[in-house]
Amino acid sequence: MAQYSSGTPATYTPTASTTVLSHWALTVLTVGQMAKVKLISWGGDGTSLVGYVSRWARVNNTPATPTALLIAPSNPIAVSMATVNTYSTAPTGAADNNLFKQNWNVQGGGGVVVLPIGGEWFVVGGALGTAFNQIGAGNVTGADANLSAYALQWEE
């Protein structure tokens, strides 16, 4: 199976919300396709001690107007069936219903979670708005101008 990675661009400014997943959403639209999230990461290079709370959750609405983020395949001839997007009408997730949530500090803080074999997060293909076809990331608290980044790696 091929591996892919993507994440927020270098000029990204997050917003803070208890429900909006503004960083990115991994989406599989083709019925019968599946992606497994293998790794998530976050990090900052701010110069002040600002506390952030970031979360990764399943999307529970139908976001609109996607902007595709770059996807890097581990194999140069592989083409991902999944997409990673931001949306003008952002994806949302139920407040405090998270796959993972992390408190951290934007002044050099950050981390990586490698999900265990058999414990990966599955994204299953279906029309936009279908249950389980998207996972998104967003901040509950913390916003900046180009000082934080959020990424993921998945397998198809």
Q: Is the pLDDT score of 126 beyond 80?
A: yes
Q: Is the pLDDT score of 10 beyond 80?
A: no
Mind listing the pLDDT tens digit for each residue in 71-103?
Answer: 999 998 999 999 999 999 999 999 989 999 999
Q: What is the pLDDT of residue 44?
A: 92
Q: Is the pLDDT score of 1 beyond 90?
A: no
Q: What is the pLDDT of residue 27?
A: 96
How is residue 103 written in tokens?
Answer: 């408190």
pTM here is: 0.94
Q: What is the mean pLDDT of the chain?
A: 94
Of how many residues is the chain composed?
Answer: 156
State phi, psi for 145 to the nearest 5 degrees. -110, 100
Q: Is the pLDDT score of 8 beyond 80?
A: yes
Q: What is the pLDDT of residue 98?
A: 97
CA angle 96, 85, 24 (to 5 degrees): 30
Three-class DSSP category at 153? strand
Choose among 100, 102, 135: nearest CA to 115: 100
* Alpha-carbon span 122 to 116, nearest angstrom: 13
Q: Where are the domains of the chain?
A: 3-155
Q: What is the pLDDT of residue 88?
A: 92
Q: What is the pLDDT of residue 131?
A: 87
* Alpha-carbon span 81 to 156, nearest angstrom: 8
Q: Is the pLDDT score of 40 beyond 80?
A: yes
